[in-house]
Amino acid sequence: MENFVKKIEKPLVLLSIQILGLYLWFLAGFMKLSKEGALDGFSRRFEGSGLDALPGGVALQFYGIAVFELVIALFFAFSLLQVEFRKSHQPWLRLGLLGALLILVVLGFGLRFVGDHSGFANIYFYIGATLVFFFIVKQYEKENL
């Protein structure tokens, strides 16, 4: 039984991270682009914060974040399509996790910038969980060397 658990542990953990990443980031980007009024809520939140004075205004930032979230979802999708959960290296999965870290830092910066401390605290925990996932993937890769 122990050998069976050892044999399926790595693929199931990696597959879970892939599915979670794909689901989370696809929905985040898709909902921003498809939900009517999402830009209005985003614009109101950052109105007068100084971020709306940047070139392109808040709309460019909003759509940029949404597109980047979909790109991150693509990394997780490529990881699944390459069946990386059964391989010794997971470059697409690592790219997805690194992209997720980057966008979470950007989102955290925006929340902190407008004084949304509870929102920033939530992002901080997402960053921590993403780092844990990243180090799990790196550890599995190291074990296969």
| pLDDT cut 90: percent of the chain above it | 60
Q: What is the per-residue pLDDT across 7-38, written as a single tens digit (0 to 9) for each?
A: 789 999 999 999 999 999 999 999 999 887 77
Domain of residue 56, residue span: 2-143
Contacts of residue 58, defined as CB under 8 A and 6 or more positions apart, other chains included, come to: 39, 42, 43, 46, 47, 51, 52
pLDDT at residue 2 is higher than 80:
no
b/e sequence 80-93, b meaning 16+ C-beta within 10 Å: beeebbeeeebebb
Q: How confident is the model at residue 145 (pLDDT cuts 50, 70, 90)?
A: low
- Could you report how far apart the first and last alpha carbons of the chain are, in Å? 25
Helix (H) / strand (E) containing 103: helix 91-113
The pTM of the full predicted model, rounded to 2 decimals, is 0.89
Please tell me the predicted confidence (pLDDT) of residue 98: 98
User: Can you read off the two tokens belonging to residue 104?
Assistant: 């979470």
pLDDT per residue over 81-130, tens digit each? 999 998 989 999 999 999 999 999 999 988 888 888 898 999 999 999 99
pLDDT of residue 70: 97
Of the candidates 100, 87, 80, the residue with the CA atom closest to the CA atom of residue 141: 87
pLDDT value at residue 44:
79
Look at the chain and report how many structural domains it folds into: 1
Residue 52 in this model has a pLDDT that exceeds 90: no
